[in-house]
């Protein structure tokens, strides 16, 4: 469940333009960019994983602070959890892209997703209040794998339950980000029109210009 091309790990400060998936689970997959040409991994440490989780509001601040403190005390355990989260990330990419292309996801990827989805489910509890039942994160859910487990939980509960035609992969080069197409027509092709979309328009313009020059000679 690894990217075909070698991945370069780099430090990255997350910005709003990095969050285009329509769901935190897909945005986690997109923390590797450029999978089709020059893959870059933006999660260079467990601390960075916590920063990403904070940026997408995956966990309450009190839990993030508790995990950060725990990671300082047990850096090797945190590093091992990070490695597992990255294996999950590749499994999620395989599952989503196979679904987009109309093929069955690999059984090993589904099994890995299932394992973390169950853990994510167990991290929640049901609470009855004011005549309603609420799903809440347990106060004692402070495992190093919690971020990965919640990503898997959201992937199963919120992403894979969508119509498959709403899941897309960016058609721009050196991108391969995945996203939910919530447009009315369902024809979104790019992660961001201002980035990959405009780049594609420029390439088409250059190709037409070269064609016209060739025709004149």
Query: What CATH number should be reported for the domain holding residue 22?
Result: 1.10.3300
Worst-scoring range by mean pLDDT, 69-78, 110-119, 132-141? 132-141
Report how many domains make up the chain.
Answer: 1
Q: Give me the sign of the Cα torsion angle 144, 99, 160, 59.
A: positive
The arithmetic mean of pLDDT across residues 75-98, rounded, is 98
Q: Is 1 within a domain?
A: no
Question: Tell me, what's the pLDDT at 83?
Answer: 98
Task: Establish if 203 belongs to a structural domain.
Answer: no
- Do the domain assignments include residue 78? yes
Q: Which residue has the tokens 């973390």?
A: 116
Q: What CA–CA distance (Å, rounded) separates 24 from 113?
A: 15
Q: Is the dihedral of CA 153, 112, 40, 202 positive or negative?
A: negative
- Does 184 have pLDDT greater than 90? no
Asked if residue 149 is part of any domain, the answer here is yes
At 22, is the pLDDT very low, low, confident or very high (cuts 50, 70, 90)? Answer: very high
- Nearest CA-CA partner of 32 in 94, 79, 75: 94
Does 46 reside within a domain? yes
- In a domain? residue 173: no
Flag the least confident range among 89-93, 103-107, 169-173. 169-173
Q: Which tens digits make up the pLDDT trace of 37-57?
A: 999 999 999 999 999 999 999
Instruction: Find the mean pLDDT for residues 20-29.
Output: 97
Cβ neighbours of residue 208 under 8 Å, at least 6 residues apart?
none
List pLDDT tens digits, range 115-134. 999 999 999 999 999 999 99
CA distance 137 to 180: 25
Return the DSSP state at 8: E
Q: Looking at residue 213, what is its pLDDT? A: 52
Dist. CA 185–CA 99, nearest whole Å: 20
Domain limits for position 90: 8-166
């Amino acid at each position: 469940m690894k990217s075909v091309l070698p991945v370069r790990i780099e430090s990255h400060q997350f910005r709003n333009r990095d969050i285009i998936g329509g769901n935190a689970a897909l945005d986690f997959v997109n923390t590797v960019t450029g999978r089709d040409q020059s893959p870059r991994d933006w999660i260079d440490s467990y601390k960075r994983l916590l920063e990403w989780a904070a940026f997408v509001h995956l966990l309450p601040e009190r839990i993030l602070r508790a995990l950060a403190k725990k990671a300082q005390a047990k850096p090797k355990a945190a590093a091992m959890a990070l490695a597992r989260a990255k294996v999950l990330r590749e499994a999620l990419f395989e599952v989503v892209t196979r679904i987009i292309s109309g093929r069955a996801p690999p059984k090993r990827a589904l099994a890995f997703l299932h394992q973390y989805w169950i853990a994510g489910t167990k991290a929640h509890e049901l609470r009855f209040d004011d005549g309603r039942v609420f799903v809440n994160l347990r106060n004692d859910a402070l495992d190093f794998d919690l971020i990965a487990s919640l990503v898997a939980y959201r992937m199963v509960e919120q992403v894979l339950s969508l119509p498959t035609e709403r899941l897309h992969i960016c058609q721009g080069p050196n991108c391969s980000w995945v996203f939910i197409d919530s447009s009315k027509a369902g024809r979104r092709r790019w992660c961001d029109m201002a980035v990959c979309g405009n780049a594609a328009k420029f390439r088409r313009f250059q190709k037409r210009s070269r064609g016209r020059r060739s025709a004149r000679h």
